[in-house]
Chains A and B, each alone.
Chain A
Amino acid sequence: MPGWLKKHKNYREPCSFSDRVFQRARSVLFYLSLLLFFGGLPFILSFALGYKFNTHTLKFVKTGLIYIKTQPEGSSIYLDGKLVPEKSPASVQELLPGVYKITLALKKYYPWRSEVYVEAGKVSRIDKVILFPLRPDLEQLNQAGFSSFRVDNERGEIYYLDQVGRIVYKSSLDGSNFEDIASLPEKFSQINGWEVSADKTKMFIFGPHQISVIFFDDRNDYEYSDSFVYLDYPQERVIKVFWHTDSYHLIVLTNKHVAVVESRPLSKTVNLIELNKEASEAFYDNKRQVLYFSDNQKGPDGTSYNNLYKLELSPELYILERLMKKRGDE
């Protein structure tokens, strides 16, 4: 304390209060705290339990609450047409039990409307609302015409197939680096399906009786590779084709067989399974190298049953090669 202040006529030693004064101050504090506790507790507990104090009737009324969460956040909340001060995520509390009309509105988004039933002492949760934009952010990715496309998420690439111009394009996921990478063979008229190999160097297209493997141009110019591989199935109808994991073998499902064939000219098809059903379905699990397919089987009573089969192709690759070699020799 500066000396000049001590000398001031109005200066009083701050600790001139006796113990008794401090104890009295403490008593006042204590009783105030007690009052605050017992006065505030009923209100806190009633609020927690969902009660509302009605100032007109001077009674506690049990209420419910609505919890609202939207994506994106910040939507205005209208309850029975009245704007609530809070924005989502928010809880609208002290609502008397009953049905409420709720509108969630956010600029540039479609509003969300619904009716919510509020029960006394309970929470009605509206926490899975997605507000969709009025004008979604559209972005054109292709820079040329195309008939169908495939997205490769792992590599971040999109492949476009233009059946009219007979060109294959490729771009990044955002549409950048758009370039043509291959041309389609002239004689191929009807394309029922296509798929790019795992090594991204080639693709196949297939029609009812023919499969063609097209090698991508890797020289980054406009001279397309003209090396196509044609695999013909004049007696059978090709239903589905898959790339095997090695990006070399093709797994072919026809109306008669499950077969494998190498993606090279003059390769011979090996029929692994003979099918009873004409229109089998198939799915190839690339990671596990397993082919799932359906086929019919006749029971002793002559009734036909539809069965699902699983064909492991993983370690059998060399077996396949051996098998194919053996068949080739034959």
Chain B
Amino acid sequence: MNKPKIIKRAFEIMPGGLSWGIIILLILLSVKYPVASAVIIITFDFYWIIRTIYLTTLLILAHHRISCQKGEDWLRRCLSLRPEKGWTQLYQLIIFPVCNEGLEVLRPSLAALSKSHYPKEKFIVVMAFEERNPLARNNALVLDKEFSGEFGAYLSAFHPDNLPGESRTKGANATWAAKAAKKFIATRNIGCEHVVVSCFDADTCVEPEYFGCLSYHFLTSEKPHQASYQPMPVYNNNIWQAPSFARLVEISSSFCQMIESMRLEKFVTFSSHSMSFKTLVEVDYWPQNMISDDSVIYWKGFLHYNGDYRVVPLYITISMDVAYSSNIWRTMAVQYKQKRRWAWGVENFPFVACGFLDNKKIPLFTKLRRSFHLLESHVTWAIWAVILVLIGPLPIFFGGKFFSQMAIAYNLPKITGLLFQFTLFTSLTWIFLSWTILPPRPKGVSWLKNVILVLEWFFVPFIILVLGSSPALDAQSRLMFAKYMEFNPTLKGNKVL
């Protein structure tokens, strides 16, 4: 193994090693030194509560920004820009990488796109099918017939299977489509710098104002090519039909993304996002052998521009499907796999760390800060639920008679309980905010569902147990032992539009 490979392996081992190290250390401390363990647990509990209150406040601010910008006529804003901003020259390239999603998923996405409040002749839509999907050609034909007249250009790309240097990932498919689009754009004499590319999940339904909002931010941003543009993902497409368990998880995911949008120095692209096509070409497109293409593309830009690259949050929602299955256990499995795939974003750490070692132009402080943020977020994800739920009671369990006589043994559950009562207030906030981002209740769905939507929040402790840390620990352990994951598209439920 050569030196760069050894360094990369070391960075791959680091997150999982740290997470497991902390967990094992705390278990050993609980057995050998229960007082020390109790002190650490109380410290962590207190940190977690302060963090929850802080993040909930950020969520309120993000939610406030989304609410304020709702109903905004972004197209009017674009039209009012000075001509030198280049509004008239701007094109929107929209790529939908499709794995094995069927027409019932793709049709609503294109329908939503066609309802955009934006000049559709500026749209270049590429449906990126996988050649290996036997239904791909047929689906392409059907969609072409239905939607090709709706946009400025409508292309169907078919990504061949098993190309050298590629894995079966969404990034490889999107890259193939982007390259095809580049050729098409060249034939139309459109400069790459005048094209904004959006890479959407197949089930992404945009709001009518999305492209107006995106264009406005692109045209008015400082260094627009050195930024990615991130809308707020919500999972409203089938939220009224999805089971409570899945709905809660996805609402929480949306909220996490909203919170992240308020922490600009840590903000990284996630799922459906947009960016300058020129930059995409310059950074050599999305990674073709990594699962977390959505975040890696940000880091590619960050490294390419020597740290002068950012994510601009767009306080406008895009809607996707809640992942669920036919029963609660299958839904749990689907959700678990989806969260593990998201947690596989930990592969960004070795990518970024190696990139930082190679790049001498990024300031050391920036490198350290960004690496720490990345590592800390993944390690915290993998350990927080384990510490709160499983390790928390261990000092009392293993402490024995001597420990049970200590004041801290008596105070540990008392303080923990008291601190968590504070989180009740944050939970109420989350319940209220989740209510406000819901789409209108479709006909045929009982009003009782409104009550269930509130009551289902009592499932949170159960969800924390199942999906809190375990997918992240799973993903980190796989990376640690070089058991690399393959892209496994999430099973999505039916849309109700």
Q: Which residues of A contact B (CB under 8 A)?
A: 13-15, 19, 22-23, 25-26, 29-30, 33, 36-37, 40-41, 44-45, 47-50, 63-65, 67, 91, 93, 121-123
Answer yes or no: B323 CB below 8 A from chain A CBs: no
6 other contacts beyond A26-B262, A49-B411, with CB at 8 A cut-off?
A37-B47, A48-B407, A48-B411, A49-B35, A123-B407, A123-B410
Answer yes or no: B38 CB below 8 A from chain A CBs: yes
- Indicate if the CB atoms of A44 and B415 lie closer than 8 Å: yes
Alpha-carbon gap, A33 to B54, bound state (A): 7
- Indicate if the CB atoms of B58 and A19 lie closer than 8 Å: no
Which B residues, 399 to 415, have Cβ-Cβ distances below 8 Å to chain A? 404-412, 414-415
- Indicate if the CB atoms of A26 and B58 lie closer than 8 Å: yes
Alpha-carbon gap, A19 to B51, bound state (A): 22
Alpha-carbon gap, A308 to B406, bound state (A): 48
Alpha-carbon gap, A44 to B68, bound state (A): 39
Q: Which residue of A lies closest to B263 (CB)?
A: A26
Which B residues, 64 to 81, have Cβ-Cβ distances below 8 Å to chain A? 64-65, 68-69
Answer yes or no: B428 CB below 8 A from chain A CBs: no
With A25-B61, A45-B39, A49-B39 given, is the CB distance from A13 to B408 under 8 Å?
no
Alpha-carbon gap, A195 to B362, bound state (A): 97
With A22-B65, A41-B46 given, is the CB distance from A48 to B262 under 8 Å?
no
Q: Which residue of A lies closest to B61 (CB)?
A: A22
B409-445 near A? 1/0 per residue, CB < 8 Å: 1111011000000000000000000000000000000
- Indicate if the CB atoms of B68 and A33 lie closer than 8 Å: no
Answer yes or no: B377 CB below 8 A from chain A CBs: no
Alpha-carbon gap, A218 to B69, bound state (A): 89
B residues near A30, Cβ cutoff 8 Å: 54
- Indicate if the CB atoms of B54 and A65 lie closer than 8 Å: no
Counting from the closest, the 9 A-B pairs by CB-CB distance are: A50-B407, A15-B68, A33-B54, A48-B411, A123-B410, A37-B50, A48-B408, A14-B68, A122-B405
A residues near B50, Cβ cutoff 8 Å: 33, 36-37, 40
Determine which of A26, A37, A41, A123 lies in contact with B405 in the assembled complex, contact meaning CB atoms within 8 Å.
A123
Q: List 7 A-B contacts (CB under 8 A).
A: A15-B64, A26-B262, A47-B411, A49-B39, A91-B414, A123-B405, A123-B410
Which B residues, 20 to 65, have Cβ-Cβ distances below 8 Å to chain A? 35, 38-39, 42-43, 46-47, 50-51, 53-54, 57-58, 61, 64-65
CB distance from B310 to the nearest CB of A (A): 11
A residues near B64, Cβ cutoff 8 Å: 14-15
CB distance from A59 to the nearest CB of B (A): 18
Q: Which residues of B contact A (CB under 8 A)?
A: 35, 38-39, 42-43, 46-47, 50-51, 53-54, 57-58, 61, 64-65, 68-69, 262-264, 404-412, 414-415
B residues near A15, Cβ cutoff 8 Å: 64-65, 68-69
B residues near A41, Cβ cutoff 8 Å: 43, 46
With A25-B61, A47-B411, A65-B410 given, is the CB distance from A37 to B262 under 8 Å?
no
Q: Which residue of A lies closest to B402 (CB)?
A: A122
Q: Which residue of B lies closest to A35 (CB)?
A: B50
- Indicate if the CB atoms of B264 and A23 lie closer than 8 Å: yes
CB distance from A151 to the nearest CB of B (A): 40
With A14-B64, A29-B54, A47-B415 given, is the CB distance from A122 to B407 under 8 Å?
yes
CB distance from A69 to the nearest CB of B (A): 12
Q: Which residue of A lies closest to B57 (CB)?
A: A29
B residues near A37, Cβ cutoff 8 Å: 46-47, 50
A residues near B412, Cβ cutoff 8 Å: 48
Alpha-carbon gap, A26 to B54, bound state (A): 9
Q: Which residue of A lies closest to B409 (CB)?
A: A123
Q: Which residue of A lies closest to B39 (CB)?
A: A45
Alpha-carbon gap, A22 to B263, bound state (A): 10
Alpha-carbon gap, A184 to B410, bound state (A): 62
Alpha-carbon gap, A50 to B50, bound state (A): 23
A residues near B43, Cβ cutoff 8 Å: 41, 45
A residues near B415, Cβ cutoff 8 Å: 44, 47-48
CB distance from B418 to the nearest CB of A (A): 10
B residues near A23, Cβ cutoff 8 Å: 264
A residues near B414, Cβ cutoff 8 Å: 91
Alpha-carbon gap, A323 to B241, bound state (A): 79
Alpha-carbon gap, A183 to B488, bound state (A): 88
CB distance from A144 to the nearest CB of B (A): 55
Alpha-carbon gap, A25 to B43, bound state (A): 26
Alpha-carbon gap, A275 to B69, bound state (A): 102
- Indicate if the CB atoms of B46 and A44 lie closer than 8 Å: yes
Alpha-carbon gap, A50 to B412, bound state (A): 11
Alpha-carbon gap, A64 to B411, bound state (A): 11
B residues near A33, Cβ cutoff 8 Å: 50-51, 53-54
Alpha-carbon gap, A23 to B406, bound state (A): 45
With A15-B65, A33-B50, A36-B50 given, is the CB distance from A44 to B42 under 8 Å?
yes
Q: Which residue of B lies closest to A67 (CB)?
A: B410
B residues near A36, Cβ cutoff 8 Å: 50
Alpha-carbon gap, A50 to B69, bound state (A): 51
CB distance from A31 to the nearest CB of B (A): 10
CB distance from B476 to the nearest CB of A (A): 26
CB distance from A120 to the nearest CB of B (A): 9
B residues near A40, Cβ cutoff 8 Å: 46, 50
- Indicate if the CB atoms of B410 and A91 lie closer than 8 Å: yes
Alpha-carbon gap, A26 to B64, bound state (A): 14
Alpha-carbon gap, A294 to B442, bound state (A): 84
Alpha-carbon gap, A13 to B67, bound state (A): 12
CB distance from A268 to the nearest CB of B (A): 62
B residues near A44, Cβ cutoff 8 Å: 42, 46, 415
Alpha-carbon gap, A122 to B406, bound state (A): 4
Alpha-carbon gap, A40 to B43, bound state (A): 10
- Indicate if the CB atoms of B42 and A22 lie closer than 8 Å: no
Alpha-carbon gap, A50 to B35, bound state (A): 12
CB distance from B440 to the nearest CB of A (A): 19
Alpha-carbon gap, A29 to B262, bound state (A): 12
CB distance from B80 to the nearest CB of A (A): 16
B residues near A123, Cβ cutoff 8 Å: 404-407, 409-410
B residues near A91, Cβ cutoff 8 Å: 410, 414
Q: Which residue of B lies closest to A64 (CB)?
A: B407
Alpha-carbon gap, A19 to B262, bound state (A): 9
